[in-house]
């Protein structure tokens, strides 16, 4: 239902445009969870936000490619159509819930307003609806909660409120950008269990941005690994865990997928992700790659340089190791 096709995005700053995300392709189907993984600064958030055209407010522009929602280009949508899609059909859950909550309005007034806007319910119906969904995410004192302000809630409760808000609009797809990174480990586990339950019960499509392979193993059906603005590997979760092909994926997983336990983060790789505008020629990962040869540094490597049915890697050395 959601297809990102060959998407490239640039950051506009004064007179210059710097390529930040290049030729991204991924598909999310009903009932399936796609994990978008990579270190910080690889372009995951830019990609995720492009689906709802949220980057446009920060000077991010489409250079080429398209994003199709049920076959319709989001870039061709009118403002009205886009507003209906945002939240109503595709919900977004952010890393920091406060970015999506307004501190000066009570939880109740914020929820009632979006519910009325999207579902056209009366005020009292919308309130009942909000209470139902708050209880559904485990917030038992929902009635009292409606009168509280975001500041008075813990991080875990705020994230539950956002999830309730998202679910109350009956979305078909959820985009969750590091939804638990800002939370305590014990709270993370409960939020993940909740997201998983809601995803399964409602057969939602989901784009889960994360740097946590434990979470990928637990939740995802498909995986796309990004490095420095490009997709370097994509495949099913089994492909990626059983035979990680790209040296970057292998490094992220510590080369030993069986060793990566639930809740564990990615291992640290020497060096840093190059920022947009400083990408090396050829393979973007080559300066940090132990397997890099001269050929890797010369010309751009195709996304499907290596492929085996649905599993693809942007590396010219994969064949040798197979």
What is the rounded distance in angstroms from the CA atom of residue 306 to the CA atom of residue 5? 19
With contact defined as beta carbons under 8 Å apart, do 168 and 136 qualify? no
Choosing from 2, 7, 10, 20, the residue that interacts with ligand ADP (CB under 6 A) is: 20
With CB under 5 to 8 Å by kind, the binding choice for 59 among ligand ADP, Mg ion, none is: ligand ADP
Q: Which two tokens stand for residue 308?
A: 């085996």
| Residue with nearest beta carbon to Mg ion | 45
Tracing tokens 């997709």 back to the chain, one arrives at 231
State yes or no: residue 179 binds ligand ADP (CB under 6 A): no
Residues 27-86 that bind ligand ADP (CB under 6 A): 38, 40-46, 58-60
- Compute the least distance from the CB of residue 80 to ligand ADP, in Å: 25
Cβ pair 220, 200 in contact under 8 A: no
Q: Which two tokens stand for residue 191?
A: 């939020």
Q: Which is nearer to Mg ion, 44 or 118 (by Cβ)?
A: 44
- Residue number of the CB closest to ligand ADP reads 45
> Per-residue contact track with Mg ion, 26 to 65, x per CB under 5 A?
-------------------x--------------------
Q: Based on the number of CB atoms within 10 Å of its own CB, is 104 exposed (0-12), middle (13-18) or buried (19 or more)? A: exposed
Beta-carbon count within 10 A of 71 CB: 7
CB 203 within 8 A of CB 31: yes
The entry of Mg ion, ligand ADP, none that residue 304 binds, CB within 5 to 8 Å by partner kind = none
The residues binding ligand ADP (CB under 6 A) are 11, 20, 38, 40-46, 58-60, 275-276
């Amino acid at each position: 239902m959601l297809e990102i096709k060959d998407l490239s995005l640039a950051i506009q700053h004064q007179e210059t445009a710097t390529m930040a995300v290049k030729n991204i392709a991924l598909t999310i189907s009903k009932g399936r969870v796609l994990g978008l993984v990579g270190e910080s600064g690889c372009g995951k958030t830019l990609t995720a936000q492009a689906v709802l055209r949220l980057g446009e407010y920060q000077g991010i522009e489409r250079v080429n490619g398209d994003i199709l929602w049920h076959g319709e280009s989001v870039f061709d949508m009118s403002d009205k159509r886009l507003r209906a899609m945002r939240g109503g059909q595709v919900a977004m859950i952010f890393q920091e819930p406060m970015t999506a909550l307004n501190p000066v309005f009570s939880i109740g007034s914020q929820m009632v307003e979006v519910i009325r806007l999207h579902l056209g319910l009366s005020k009292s119906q919308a309130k009942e609806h909000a209470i139902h969904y708050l209880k559904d995410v485990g917030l038992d004192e929902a009635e009292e909660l409606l009168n509280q302000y975001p500041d008075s809630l813990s991080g875990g409760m705020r994230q539950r409120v956002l999830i309730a808000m998202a679910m109350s609009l009956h979305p078909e797809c959820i985009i969750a950008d590091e939804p638990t990174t800002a939370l305590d480990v014990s709270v993370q586990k409960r939020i993940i269990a909740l997201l998983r339950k809601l995803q399964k019960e409602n057969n939602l499509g989901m784009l889960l941005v994360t740097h946590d392979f434990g979470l990928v193993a637990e939740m995802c059906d498909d995986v796309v690994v990004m490095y420095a603005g490009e997709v370097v590997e994509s495949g099913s979760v089994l492909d990626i865990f059983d035979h990680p092909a790209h040296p970057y994926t292998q490094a992220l997983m510590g080369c030993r997928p069986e060793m990566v336990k639930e809740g564990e983060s990615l291992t640290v790789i020497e060096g840093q992700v190059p920022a947009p505008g400083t990408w090396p020629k050829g393979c973007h990962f080559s300066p940090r790659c132990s397997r890099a040869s001269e050929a890797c540094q010369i010309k751009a490597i195709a996304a499907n340089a290596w492929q085996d049915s649905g599993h693809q890697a942007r590396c010219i050395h994969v064949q040798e190791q197979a």
